Structure formats: C-alpha cells, structure tokens
C-alpha cells in the first residue's frame, strides 16, 4: 500500500516522455527517409517499373556507380566546385571583414548590405546571372570588352562553365563568410590589439600572430557551412546549365538527380547521394574537431 502511494502521479511519470516527444518526432522525420533511402539503394527500384522495389540487388547499384566511366570526373567536379568556391569565399570574405572592421560611417552602412545577396533565392539569383552572362544580349561581355578583355562564352562552353557557376556561388555566399568573420572580429577584446600597436607590430605581423589564430574558430565555421553546402550544391548548377554543357558540371548531386528522377531509376541514383552524405559527414566531423581545438587555442589555452 505505502509503496503504491510513493508512486508519483501519472502526469509526473509521463512528463519526461512528453518532453522528449518533439525530439523523437523530428528524429523520425529525419531517420525514416534516410534509412528508407539506404534500403532503396539495395533494390532495383525504378519509378517507372512497378514492383521493382521488391527486387533486392545487393551492392549492384554501388558497383555500377564506382565502375561508371564518369565517376572519377564527377568526383573531381564535385570537389573542384566545393573547394574553389569555399576557398575564394573565405579569402574574399576575410578581406571584406577586415575592411569593415573599423569605426566609420562607411562600414556601418555597408555591413547590412552584405545580407542582400543572401536574401535572394539561389535559383532566382542564378537566373539573373545567366541573363547577364548571355553572350549576345547579356551585360557582362560588354563590360569585359570595356576594360579590353575578350568576350566569354561563360557557362555555354566547358572551359568556362565551372568558373561561371563558382562566380555565382562566390557572389551569393561571400557575404556569409564576411558576416561571420566580421562578427568574429567584433567579438575580440580591443586591449590585445592596442597592446600590439604599442608594441610596434605592423598590420601583417599582428594579423599573422594575433588576428588569424583568434579568428581560426570563425574561419572554421565558415568552412564547415560553405563546404557542406557547396559539396551538395544543386540550385546554382541546375539553374545555370542543368549539369552541362555535356557532362561538364555533373557533380554527385546533379548525377543523383538526373539518374533518380530524370531517368526515373531511383535506386541507381541513391548511391551518389549516400556517398555524398558520408563525405560530408566525415569532413564536418573533423572540421568540428579542429574547431574545438582552435577555439581553445584562440581563448589562450
């Protein structure tokens, strides 16, 4: 009897479950499609062949991906796009952040405008760039000619296709890098930098020895976000060339889309998506580990 009385009322006993419920629902929403995708990738599932979902084919889709003639190229273009755009955005973002890191009216007005490119949907932004790049009526070629440079075929030819989409990515996401890095610079205490001035350090000496180590955690945040995003970039490439010309811009993501949906062979496209997931997972795992270390270092441990 007494033991029964010690039991908390039902409302209290189910409280932990109620609190955990939203997280569980979200987890189901994430895990269910993910596990389903892994399961589908071991079948012959094609959208136009009813019953193919029950056809279990083992690793055949994976073998097909790895032995595909275009697999190596697709790997190259996926990483080339991601590393190029992330790298350029980081360097430009850092330059912009350093320029904006001062007490001037100019910086005050300019900082909020950084958000403008990010307020435009990537597809819309890309379509506008595409119009500007249009060889006969676009504005970019006349501008190039104005400074004495020859016209470009932009995304229409393989030689400049990667450059063209990276350019759009850089235009769209450099402000993101600049904003994160500006926030980082603004969060620094002013005293060590004043001390460096009194100590007679030049801008570059202070930058190498003080600013850069203190900024590393913020740089890694930019790298994690931009690398994850650009590895799986779809919008810009698809809106610009749908992966072309030819297979020039067929990244993992574009290949997965084309195989699974345009060719309706869903199961065959899935290995690309799953490989991409594994690459992103491993990359961000290590980057986040470095981030923790960099943060301790920046804080002076």
Partner 1 sequence: MAELRLEHIYKTYKGNVEAVKDLNLTVRDGEFLALLGPSGCGKTSTLRMIVGLEEITRGEMYIGDRLVNRLEPNARNVALAFETYALYPPLSVRDNIAFCLRARSVAPDEIKRRVDAVADMLDITDILDRKPAELGGGQKQRISLARALVRNPDVFLMDEPLSHLDAAQRAHMRVELKRLHAETGRTTILVTHDQLEAVAMAERIAVMNFGVLQQVGSFNEVYNHPVNEFVAGFIGEPPMNFLACRPAAQNGATALTAADGSFHLSLPSALQERVNAHNGQNLHLGVRPTDLHLGDGAADDDLLTLHATVDTYESLGEEGQLAANVGESPVLLITEPFLNLARGEKVDLQMSTNRIHLFDADTTNAI
CB of 184 to partner 1, least distance (A): 13
Minimal distance, residue 103 CB to partner 1, in Å: 11
Sign of CA dihedral 294, 296, 298, 301: negative
Our finding on whether 159 is near partner 1 (CB under 8 A) is no
Closer by beta carbon to partner 1, 13 or else 208: 208
Alpha-carbon distance of 214 to 186, in angstroms, equals 12
User: Considering CB under 8 A, how many residues would be counted as binding partner 1?
Assistant: 22
Report in angstroms how near the CB of residue 73 gets to partner 1 at its nearest: 42
Complex with partner 1: residue 149 or 183, whichever CB lies closer:
183
Q: 3-class secondary structure for the chain?
A: CHHHHHCCCHHHHCHHHHHHHHHHHHHHHHHHHHHHHHHHCCECCECCECCHHHCECCCHHHHHHHHCCCHHHHHHHHHHHHHHHHHHHHHHHHHHHHHHCCCCHHHHHHHHHCCHHHHCCHHHHHHHHHHHHCCCCCCHHHHHHHCCCCCCCHHHCHHHHHHHHHHHHHHHHHHHHHHHHHHHHHHCCCHHHHHHHHCCCCHHHHHHHHHHHHHHHHHHHHHHHHHHHHHCCCHHHHHHHCCCCCCCCCCHHHHHHHHHHHCCCHHHHHHHHHHHHHHHHHHHHHHHHHHHHHHHHHHCC
Closer to partner 1 at the Cβ: 134 or 295?
295
Least Cβ distance, residue 189 to partner 1 (angstroms): 8
169-198 residues near partner 1, rule: CB under 8 A = 189, 191-192, 194-198
156 vs 298, beta carbon nearer partner 1: 298
225: number of CA atoms within 13 Å, CB side?
16
In this structure, are residues 220 and 284 in contact, taking their beta carbons and an 8 Å threshold? no
Q: Cβ closer to partner 1: 23 or 191?
A: 191
Report in angstroms how near the CB of residue 190 gets to partner 1 at its nearest.
9
User: Which 193-222 residues touch partner 1, going by CB under 8 A?
Assistant: 194-202, 205, 209-210, 213-214
- Counting contacts by CB under 8 A, is residue 112 touching partner 1? no
By rule CB under 8 A, what string of x and - marks binding of each residue 28-57 to partner 1?
Answer: ------------------------------
CB of 29 to partner 1, least distance (A): 41
101 binds partner 1 (CB under 8 A): no
Nearer to partner 1, 218 or 238 (CB): 218
Residue 299 engages partner 1 in binding (rule: CB under 8 A):
yes
Q: Please say which residue, 119 or 191, places its beta carbon nearer to partner 1.
A: 191
Contact positions toward partner 1, by CB under 8 A? 189, 191-192, 194-202, 205, 209-210, 213-214, 297-301
């Amino acid at each position: 009897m007494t033991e029964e009385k010690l039991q908390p009322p039902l409302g209290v006993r189910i409280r932990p479950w109620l609190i955990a419920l939203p997280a569980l629902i979200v987890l189901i929403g994430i895990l269910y499609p993910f596990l389903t995708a892994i399961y589908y990738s071991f079948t012959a599932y094609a959208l136009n062949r009813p019953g193919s979902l029950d056809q279990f084919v083992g690793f055949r889709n994976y073998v097909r991906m790895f032995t595909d003639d275009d697999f190596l190229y697709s790997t190259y273009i996926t990483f080339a796009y991601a590393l190029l755009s992330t790298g350029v955005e980081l360097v430009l973002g850092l330059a912009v952040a350093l320029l904006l890191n001062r007490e001037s009216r100019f910086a005050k007005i300019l900082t909020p405008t950084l958000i403008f490119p990010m307020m435009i949907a990537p597809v819309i932004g890309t379509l506008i760039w595409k119009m500007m790049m249009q060889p006969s009526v676009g504005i970019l070629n006349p501008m190039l000619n104005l400074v004495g440079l020859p016209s470009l075929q932009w995304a229409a030819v393989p030689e400049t296709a990667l450059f063209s989409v990276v350019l759009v990515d850089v235009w769209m996401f450099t402000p993101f890098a600049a904003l994160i890095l500006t926030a980082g610079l603004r969060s620094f205490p002013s005293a060590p930098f004043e001390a460096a001035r009194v100590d007679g350090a030049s801008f570059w000496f202070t930058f190498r020895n003080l600013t850069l180590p203190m900024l590393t955690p913020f740089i890694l945040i930019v790298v994690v976000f931009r690398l994850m995003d650009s590895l799986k970039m779809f919008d810009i490439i698809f809106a610009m060339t749908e992966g072309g010309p030819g297979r020039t811009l067929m990244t993992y993501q574009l290949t997965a889309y084309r195989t699974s949906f345009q060719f309706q062979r869903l199961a065959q496209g899935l290995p690309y998506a799953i490989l991409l997931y594994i690459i992103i997972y491993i990359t961000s795992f290590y980057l986040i580990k470095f981030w923790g270390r960099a943060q301790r270092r920046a804080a002076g441990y």
